[in-house]
Amino acid sequence: MSFAIPFADRLNNVETSAIRELFKLLGKPGIISFAGGFPDSAMFDVEGIREAANAALNEEPGAALQYGATEGYLPLREQLAAFMASKGAAEVAPEQLIVTTGSQQALDLLGKTLISPGDKVIVEGPTFLATIQCFKLYGAELISAPVDGNGVRTGELERLIEQHKPKFVYLIPTFGNPSGAMLSLERRQKVLEMAVRHDTLIVEDDPYGDLYFGDAPPPSLLALSATVPGSRDRLVHCGSLSKVLSPGLRVGWMVGPADLLAKATMCKQFSDAHTSTFAQATAAQYLKAGRMPATLARVRQVYAARAEAMVQALRSELGDAIDFVPPQGGLFVWARLTGADGRVADGAELARRAIDRGVAFVPGAPFFAADPDHATLRLSFATADEDRIREGIARLAQAL
C-alpha cells in the first residue's frame, strides 16, 4: 500500500538548511536570540495599518476583495513609484514596476523567467540564504563574488563576469543580508558601467536601504542608473515593505526592463494570480496617508541604538577574538572569529556552545554559495532591546 511520491528532479538541487535545525532550538526558555532575520513586531505601526485597512474597505471594498491585475493594484503602484521618487529614483513610472508577494517572489519570478538548468548566476559571498536555494531550484550554478566592508569587490566581480558570462548578477548593495556591508558610491558606479560593458543584467535587491543610522547611503543602483547611459536597460531593482512597515502584508515590488516585467507578469499569473489585493489596498492607503516618513524615522532610531549597543558590547566583551565592520544600517552585524589566544574559530561550533549559554545566532557558512568561510557569524540586533543585547553578548563571551 505504501506509495513513493515521484518528486521532480529539481528538488535534488537543494538541501534542507542547517539553520532550520538551529531554529528548532530557539524555543528554549530564556534564550536571547540574535538569530532571526526579521524586524521587531513591537515597532509595527498597528494603528496606522488598521486605519489603512479600514480606509481600503470603506473606499474601495470591491477592488480590495476582488481578483486584481497580476501586475499589481494601480493605486499601490502609483504610491510605490512616489515612494521610490522620494528616495532618489525619480524616473520610475507606475507602469514600470510590478507588485510581488514579498520580494521573495521577485527572486522566484527572476528564477522562473531567466534561469534554465545549468545557467550561471553570480551572487555575493556571503548572500541571502533563500536566494541561493531559490535560484538553485531553477537549476542555476551559483558563482560567489567576494565582499569586503565596502560591499562586493568590483575588480573580482568583473573578472567573474568575463569568465562565466552569467545570466545575471544578484547583489544586495545596501546593508546586505548577512554581510551588512554598504557598497561604496564608487563601486556602484563601476557595477553599472560593467553591466553596460559586458551586456550583463544586474539585480539590485534593496529591502534594507531605508534602515540607515547616520547619513543616508549612496543612491541605489536604480537611482544612479539615470547617470550611466544604457544601465537602466540592464538593471532590475527589488523593493519591499517587509523590513520597514510589515512583513505580514507580503508586499514587495520589482522595477525592470519592460520585456522582463511582461514575462515576469506572465509567470506570476501562474504562480499566485496576483498579490493579495486586500494587502495591496491597505499598503496603498498607508503610503497615501503619509505615515511612512515618521515610521522610518522611528525605526531607524531604535535600530541605530541597538546596533550601537551590540557593537560596544562585542568590542568590550569579545575584544580581539572577533573582527567586524560596524554596520551603518540594516539589521545585522556580520563578524569573523579570529581564533586569537586559541579561542573558538568555528561559527557552527560557537553557535552550539552559545545555545547552552542561552544565546542564539546564525553561523555564517551557509550564506556562502561556494567556499564557505566557517569563521563567520551573523548577529541580528533587531529584536532584542539594548539590555538584552548586552546580556546576550556577555553570554556569547562566556561561550567563547
Please report, as residue ranges, which positions from 275 to 314 form the binding site for its own copies (by CB under 8 A).
Answer: 275-279, 281-282
Q: In the window 344-383, what residues touch its own copies (CB under 8 A)?
A: none
The DSSP element (H or E) to which 273 belongs, if any, is none
Using CB under 8 A as the binding rule, whether residue 250 contacts its own copies is answered as yes
- 221 phi/psi in degrees, rounded to 5: -55, -35
The one-letter code for the residue type at 213 is: F
Q: In the window 189-228, what residues touch its own copies (CB under 8 A)?
A: 196, 199, 201
CB 48, min distance to its own copies, A: 11
Identify which of residues 5 and 342 has a Cβ nearer to its own copies in the complex. 5
| Rounded CA separation 263/137 (Å) | 19
- Strand extents, DSSP E, 58-166: 97-101, 120-125, 141-148, 151-152
End-to-end CA distance of the chain: 52
- Residue of 181, 260, 331, 377 interacting with its own copies (CB under 8 A): 260
User: 44 CB contacts (<8 Å, ≥6 apart)?
Assistant: 245, 246
Pick the closest to residue 383 from 15, 14, 26 (CA basis). 26
Identify which of residues 280 and 328 has a Cβ nearer to its own copies in the complex. 280
The answer to whether 353 and 397 are in contact (CB under 8 A) is: no
Identify which of residues 56 and 393 has a Cβ nearer to its own copies in the complex. 56
Place of cell 538541501: 15
| Rounded CA separation 156/154 (Å) | 5
CB 346, min distance to its own copies, A: 27
Site string for its own copies, 137-166 (x = CB under 8 A): xx----------------------------
Q: In the window 28-57, what residues touch its own copies (CB under 8 A)?
A: 38-39, 41-42, 44, 46, 49-50, 53-54, 57
- Strand extents, DSSP E, 49-119: 97-101
Using CB under 8 A as the binding rule, whether residue 3 contacts its own copies is answered as yes
CB 111, min distance to its own copies, A: 8
Identify which of residues 1 and 215 has a Cβ nearer to its own copies in the complex. 1
CB 47, min distance to its own copies, A: 9
Site stretch for its own copies (CB under 8 A), options 90-98, 143-151, 274-282, 321-329: 274-282
Using CB under 8 A as the binding rule, whether residue 120 contacts its own copies is answered as no
- Strand extents, DSSP E, 261-354: 322-324, 332-337
